[in-house]
């Protein structure tokens, strides 16, 4: 317990700029809004970098390796790289702020994209795989940027703050796949294989995203939030209640992580093999770019509405809706005629929408369950599990399709997502009813 003199000394020890934000709720609100604007700008570039590479990653590996069996390996490596990077970005953010962590991640992803281009140019498989691991840093950072806007948000703003960061990714994410042909032509004109063209775009986009954050994200919202939280904690004399709160946080973290991991496995598995499935049945790069563009648009574009729904009708309802939508997507993809571009688009749109519901509801639960003193570190760890789930789904998807069919993979994904519904209901209604009620009361009181 700190004495009044100790607390006064702690306040005086803060830098003047930081103390100004601690003392002024209005400055905190202004910084919250400014942070969202900067995150929006960086996410537009980040989305283009992510989507461009994802669209042709499997096709590039298929072309270089000469087989479908390992077509899922690029996404697996990409997501493994995301896992390692998520941990690193989370640790850097926790110690040095969001600005340092996110800028480092995006710039590293840009280097990875450059490596992929060089690998395609030299037909170097080892370099391709190593570069895809590094390229995954861009994906990890793109996802972790969704947390930046929540650092100064209250409990009734968190879902919306997450969704604003995600919806801003849509512009770049939709443009990326639809520039596949353009970038392919540009690549050929400079003597680079066409399939490496989108990675040229990815290199430029990730680098720009990193520079935007590095230059503009000042003051750092997480550092301000941590300083505010530390003063509150120092003045809290109820240690028993604090211990109880920590137990509540652990349960929320487990539930939020389960939701996001489940939806990630289903989404990555089906998405990874869709370009290969289309290519095997005569669809060209333009058609592939169109389908993946719609899919990625559905992953991010509904976010603004999704965040509001998460804040208004609850985390649980939206998580259950995610399971139902993913089921519909898997079944539709399984029964879709191979020559029907429209049905494929609809199934991939549903796949993106279900992922969106699951990610935003799960992310909001994680934010609810953490505080600024541990938030970035825990968020990084959770995103590691999400990335590993994606890596598993990506790696296994190629094997399943090679030994069975795309329809079998899609149907299995739908059934797996169906299992999410009873898990969420059981976890949240039987074991966490009190905690959800408390979150609801806190939200109404703010």
Could you read off the pLDDT tens digit of each residue along the chain, which spans 446 residues?
444 344 444 444 567 777 888 888 888 889 999 999 999 999 888 888 877 676 677 778 777 777 666 666 776 787 778 888 889 999 999 999 999 999 999 999 999 999 999 988 888 888 988 998 899 898 889 888 888 888 888 878 888 888 888 887 777 766 776 777 788 888 888 888 888 888 898 899 999 999 999 999 988 999 898 888 877 665 554 554 444 444 446 778 888 898 999 999 999 999 888 888 888 877 877 888 888 888 878 888 888 799 999 998 888 889 899 999 999 999 998 888 878 889 899 999 999 999 999 999 999 989 888 888 888 889 999 988 988 887 788 778 888 888 888 889 999 898 888 877 776 776 655 544 544 454 454 444 44
Number of structural domains the chain divides into: 1
Query: 297, 298, 299, 355: which is closest to 326 by C-alpha?
Result: 355
Query: 205, 48, 56: which is closest to 128 by C-alpha?
Result: 56
233 is a domain residue: no
Whole-structure pTM value: 0.76
CA trace torsion 323, 328, 334, 338 (10° rounding): -130
Residue with tokens 């940027």: 145
> Containing domain of residue 61, as a range?
14-228+238-445
Neighbouring residues of 331: CB distance < 8 A, sequence distance ≥ 6: 410, 411, 414
pLDDT of the residue at 236 = 53
pLDDT of the residue at 68 = 65
CA distances from 3 to 22, 228, 231, 241, 391 (A): 20, 18, 12, 20, 51
pLDDT of the residue at 429 = 57
pLDDT of the residue at 129 = 86
Q: At 426, which CATH number? A: 1.20.1250.20
b or e along 26-50 (b: 16 or more beta carbons within 10 Å of the residue's beta carbon)?
Answer: eebeebbebbbebbbebbbbbbbbb
Q: What is the DSSP letter of 155?
A: T
8 is a domain residue: no
Neighbours of 5 (CB within 10 A): 8
pLDDT of the residue at 180 = 73
């Amino acid at each position: 317990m700190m004495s009044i003199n100790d607390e006064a000394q702690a306040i005086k020890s803060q830098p003047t700029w930081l103390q100004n934000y601690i003392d002024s709720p209005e400055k905190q609100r202004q910084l919250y809004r400014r942070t969202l604007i900067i995150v929006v700008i960086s996410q537009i570039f980040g989305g283009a970098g992510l989507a461009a590479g994802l669209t042709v990653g499997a096709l590039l590996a298929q072309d270089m390796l000469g087989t479908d069996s390992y077509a899922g390996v690029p996404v697996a490596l990409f997501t493994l790289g995301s896992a390692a990077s998520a941990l690193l970005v989370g640790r850097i953010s926790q110690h040095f702020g969001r600005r340092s962590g996110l800028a480092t991640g995006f710039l590293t992803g840009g280097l990875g994209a450059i490596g992929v281009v060089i690998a395609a140019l030299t037909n170097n498989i080892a370099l391709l795989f190593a570069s895809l691991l590094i390229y995954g840093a861009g994906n990890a950072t793109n996802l972790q940027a969704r947390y930046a806007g929540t650092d100064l948000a209250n409990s009734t703003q968190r879902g919306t703050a997450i969704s604003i960061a995600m919806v801003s990714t849509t512009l770049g994410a939709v443009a990326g796949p639809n520039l596949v042909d353009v970038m392919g032509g540009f690549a050929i004109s400079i003597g680079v294989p066409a399939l490496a063209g989108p990675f040229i775009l990815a290199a430029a986009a990730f680098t720009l995203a990193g520079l935007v954050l590095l230059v503009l994200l000042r003051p750092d919202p997480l550092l301000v939030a941590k300083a505010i939280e530390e003063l509150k904690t120092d003045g809290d004399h109820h240690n028993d209640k604090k211990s109880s709160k920590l137990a509540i946080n652990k349960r929320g973290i487990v539930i939020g992580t389960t939701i996001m991991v489940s939806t990630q496995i289903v989404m990555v598995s089906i998405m990874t093999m869709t370009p290969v499935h289309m290519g095997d049945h005569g669809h060209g790069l333009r058609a592939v770019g169109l389908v993946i563009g719609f899919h990625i648009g559905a992953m991010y574009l509904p976010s603004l509405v999704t965040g509001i729904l998460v804040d208004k009708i609850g985390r649980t309802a939206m998580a259950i809706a995610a399971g139902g939508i993913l089921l519909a997507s898997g079944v539709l993809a399984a029964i879709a005629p191979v020559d029907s571009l429209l049905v494929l688009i609809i199934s991939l749109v549903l796949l993106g929408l279900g992922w969106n519901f699951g990610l935003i509801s799960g992310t909001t639960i994680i934010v609810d369950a953490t505080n600024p003193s541990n938030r970035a570190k825990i968020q990084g760890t959770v995103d590691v599990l999400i990335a590993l789930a994606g890596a598993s789904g990506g790696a296994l998807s190629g094997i399943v399709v090679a030994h069975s069919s795309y329809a079998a993979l899609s149907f299995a994904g739908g059934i797996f997502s169906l299992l999410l519904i009873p898990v969420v209901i059981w976890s949240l209604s039987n074991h966490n009813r009190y905690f959800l009620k408390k979150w609801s009361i806190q939200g109404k009181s703010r």
